[in-house]
Structure 1
Amino acid sequence: MGLEKSLLLFSLLVLVLGWVQPSLGRKPSVQDFKRQHMDPGSPPNSRPTYCNQMMKRRGMTKGSCKRVNTFLHESWAKVQAICSQRQMTCKTSSKKNCHKSSSPLHITECRLKGSSKYPKCDYTTTNSQKHIIIACEGNPLVPVHYDASV
């Protein structure tokens, strides 16, 4: 009977870890990058509510307000091509897998307003054209982390 209980507990442990573990210490993914940063069908505009709507729609106001996020208004092919451009050390970490765009891209920067508190996340919307720095991983290299704009 003791062996059966042990096997049952071990099976349950494997099941639980298989379900929970992917979210713990998970590596950044292409899907996360696309959800958080890509908005190719939407040209930059001056709607002040753009960030409030997009941050909520893309799930970045669940549980807390994400402080800063940047949306890219370019095609996926153009953003992915940055992974083959100039490699550099990332600005937000010491990793060396970042790449800087060779030309400015259309972006929208969303910043949480100082007085804003969860659950009422309120953002400023700023449209511009800037060079971006992204981290790329895999083979072939694909964007997995938005590092900075310059």
Structure 2
Amino acid sequence: MAMGLGPLLLIFMLSLGLTPETLAQVNRYRHFLDQHYDPRPQGRNDRYCNNRMRRQGLTSPCKDTNTFIHGTGRSIRDICGDESGSPYEGNLRISNSAFQITTCRLIGGSSRPPCRYRAHSGYRNIVIGCEDGLPVHFDESFIRP
């Protein structure tokens, strides 16, 4: 009887020393990247937001607000360390330098598609939640005084 690929992959990952907790953390990191990471944006205008939000599956229902970080994956991960990030509130960390970002905000009152977004772009320090050295939650962005 043949085993499915899913159980075989799990057995392989566990044999590498990856526990279910580690796999869950990696999945949260990938989810963070899917929702908030775009290293090379095409434009940073309303059309960008409308297309990117739809492509990332954030339009069913319409997500109210989402921020995309434009930088390298390594520079975002480094916020979880002491050289590129500083402790913020609770278990959050704030970047020591500004990142190029695009925030997409839903316009109109309905959360049902079609979704229309307004783009707000700029450079901001970002606040993220980290687990075991990996970003897993985007909290906010703001211009430091």
Taking structure 1 as the reference length, the TM-score comes to: 0.71
Question: 8 Å contact 2:69–2:102 — kept in the other structure?
Answer: yes
Contact 2:45–2:120, Cα closer than 8 Å, also in 1: no
Question: Percent same amino acid among aligned pairs?
Answer: 37
CA distance in 2, matches of 1:76, 1:46: 19
* 1:116–1:122 Cα contact (<8 Å) kept: no
SS of 2:114 mapped into structure 1: coil
Q: Size of the alignment, in residue pairs?
A: 115
Structure 2: gaps of 5 or more residues: 1-23
Counterpart of 2:32 in 1: which secondary structure?
A: helix
CA distance in 1, matches of 2:44, 2:78: 27
Is 1:142 the counterpart of 2:109? The answer is no
Q: Provide the residue aligned with 1:48 in structure 2.
A: 46
Partner of 2:33: 34
**1:9 equivalent in structure 2:** none
d(CA) in 2 for partners of 1:29 and 1:131?
22
Q: Residue 80 of structure 2 contacts residue 130 of structure 2 at CA under 8 Å; is this kept in 1? A: yes
The corresponding residue for 2:92 is: 98
The structure with the greater share of residues assigned to strand is 2
Paired AA for residue 57 in structure 2 = G
Larger radius of gyration: 1
1:57 alignment partner, one of 55, 69, 77: 55
SS in 2 for 1:81: helix
Shift of 1:87: 1.0
Give the Cα separation in 1 of the matches to 2:44 and 2:69: 15
TM-score normalised by length of structure 2:
0.73
Q: Deviations over 1:115-137 (max 9, x none)?
A: 44411111001111010000000
